[in-house]
Chain A
Amino acid sequence: MKKAFLATAIFSTVALAQPTEDKIRQLEEQIRMLQQEVQRLKEEQKKAEETKKETEALKEEIRQLRLDIAMPTLEIKSYSGLGPAASKVHFNPRGVSIGGYGELTFRHNDVNARGGAKSIADMQRLILYLGYAFDEKLKFNSELELEHASTSGAHGTGGGYFKAELAYLDYQFRPEFGLRGGLLLMPVGIVNEVHEPPTFPSAERPYFERRIMMSTWEEMGLGAYGTVGPVDYRIYLINGLMLKGGGDYDVLEPLKTVRQRGARAVADRFGFTGRFDINLPLNVKLGASLVYADVQSKGGSDSKLGLRRGSKVESLTMLSPHLWWQYAGWDVRFVGAVVKTDDALRMSQDLFGNNIQNPDTGANKNNIMPEEQRGFYLQVAYDLFRLFGPENQELYVFGIYEDFDTHRKVPSGYLKPDGNKLKVYNLGISYKPHPLVAIKADYAKLDYSKPKRDEKEYRLTLSFMF
């Protein structure tokens, strides 16, 4: 009986144990599948999070890109009196900046355009600006210039030169105060500093800016600049000027021969120059510039007085008020100047020696330096495309009147050279298919004081900057 009961119990246990094990196996299988599912979900969630992060990063990139495009950190605009292309490096936070401009001119003069020819086609200037921003405050800027296409006298009627017109280091501590040193543009007039040709309407720079303000005029110097309230200022200590001799004298622009332009400039004597501009409402700039510098002798065979190179001959003072109004299509400019030399006779003697003007016979009448120069020019230009025409282009019509005297005063007892007084009537157009490109055509009538013959000029200029 006992045996029978035991056998039944064992059988029952075995019989029952079989489905329980199956259940356990099934449960284990389900758990394994669930684990796999959880693992898969975890991986998907991780991927979704990564995708979300990537999407957020892309959205942030788009936000920044939109702002960078709408608010570029690099801009073409004027910095501390420099032209737009020359200012590039100052708006570049870091690295290399390259800019430039070109001025290609056809000029017909009814008396003499060059050496008897009445028409001249000239690649006047091809310029490269090269700058480097070491950081946002410390910059190097330069302007390298090729004039008249070549440096060879064998090309055409003679090439020009390749030279540096600007080369300086600049540190801006703050907008109110910066320091710069090197080869600097003299901050006089309007065109000497802002001289990229698309920035002014006439086919060539105004005569007054070239003959009285000595544009382009640069000297070695060191100084400060900045903007305080509405006032922009620049003040530089510069090397003294020098009478160059060697035939570098033109009676139509007599004082230009004192420029040294950074070419191993004699600096036994010094000078200074400064400028301020008050920024008034409606974009009016009103200001003045000043140059005061000793003029040194070049010495050697170029000093007819036998002076040592670097010794003082005399001093020069230039005072020039200006007004510049650019607003609603108008570009109105006025520049005046008085230039005085304190001993024009000594300067004439050192430069010309025995060839100085003989006031009794009238011989060498042109060979006399001025004691005083005086004059002004007034430009009125208006963009006609403000009234009609394409929205993104400009068409300036302009008139310039110039009136100046290169020898308002000469040393006592001496004669004024022929044509010392000049009145210029200049009319023309400047078409700008792009803000950086100007095609200019104009007519200039040059009325000299008698007996110098009047001249008529017709000019066409292709110009650009970038």
Chain B
Amino acid sequence: MVLLALVLFFVFAFSPLSSLQAKEFKKPEQALSQIYPGSQIEVRNITLTKEQAEEVQRISGVKLETRLASWYIVKKGTQVVAYGYADIHRVRTHSEVVLYTITPDGRLDVVEVLAFHEPLEYMPETQWLKLFAGKQLSKDPIRLRKDIPNITGATLTARAITDNARKVLALWQVLFGGQR
């Protein structure tokens, strides 16, 4: 019995970390590996031309703060299963990091908040983030209070995540849209 207790103790103590550690910041590669198990992540840092940057701003209506776009290409074997983009933007006075993943046919798949520095009561619920799944630039407005409902008491968060979803989709369209 004591031996069993000892074995259980060590299994418990040394087994892989559970989801409780999700309270810590997850790097984009970690988050993508959890979203797409068994995939390989390839980082591609792309410098947009001036024309490409203007095109992204025109399509999304969102100002592009940088011309350096770091994309995470999620592959299973040689096949691309998703594109990931960790967008860093300001909410009110502090920044947040939001991971957007896009399917190879240009639809938003998963939206996950990786880091949030505003007070936690402004943090969006997972259920709200799931509303973005399937949205695409050509068919959906992706605008707050149109196809995306507001979060009462956290409008700035909701607006930041929604607007930047359009920006990320526009980035994807300009950089990868023609390669489908």
Contacts and interface: CB of A to CB of B under 8 A. Distances in A.
A73 B43 contact: no
B156 to A, nearest CB: 11
Interface stretch (A147-155, A174-182, A438-446, A448-456): A174-182
Interface in A274-304: 282-283
Given A67-B86, A70-B115, A175 B28 contact: no
Nearest to A329: B119
Given A62-B68, A175-B23, 4 more contacts: A63-B45, A174-B18, A177-B13, A391-B93
Interface of A is mostly: mixed
Interface in B8-49: 12-15, 17-18, 20-21, 23, 25, 27-28, 43, 45, 47
A283 B123 CA distance: 12
Contacts of B18: 174-176
Given A59-B45, A71-B27, A176 B115 contact: no
B102 interface: no
8 closest residue pairs by CB, A with B = A59-B45, A173-B13, A63-B70, A71-B115, A71-B25, A70-B88, A175-B20, A70-B97
Size range of the chain B interface in the assembly: 20 to 34
Interface of A: 56, 59-60, 62-63, 66-67, 70-73, 173-177, 227, 229, 282-283, 327-328, 391-392
Contact of B21 (A66, A175, A229): A175
Nearest to B89: A70
B164 to A, nearest CB: 13
Given A174-B17, A392-B93, A67 B12 contact: no
Contact of B43 (A63, A66, A177, A229): A63
A173 B11 CA distance: 11
A327 B88 contact: no
Contacts of B23: 175
Contacts of B45: 56, 59-60, 62-63
Contacts of A60: 43, 45
A73 B45 CA distance: 22
12 contacts: A60-B43, A63-B45, A63-B70, A66-B70, A67-B88, A174-B12, A174-B15, A174-B21, A175-B18, A175-B23, A176-B20, A177-B12
Nearest to B47: A59
Contacts of A174: 12-15, 17-18, 21
Contacts of B68: 59, 62-63
Contacts of B95: 70
A327 B121 contact: yes
Nearest to B10: A173
Contact of B20 (A70, A227, A282): A227
A327 B122 CA distance: 11
A45 B88 CA distance: 36
B121 A71 contact: no
Nearest to A62: B68
Given A56-B45, A59-B68, A67 B28 contact: yes
Nearest to A57: B45
B74 interface: no
Interface in B91-146: 92-93, 95-97, 114-115, 119-121
A396 to B, nearest CB: 14
A177 B93 CA distance: 36
Contacts of B120: 283
Contacts of B119: 328
Contacts of B17: 174-175
A297 to B, nearest CB: 36
A327 B88 CA distance: 25
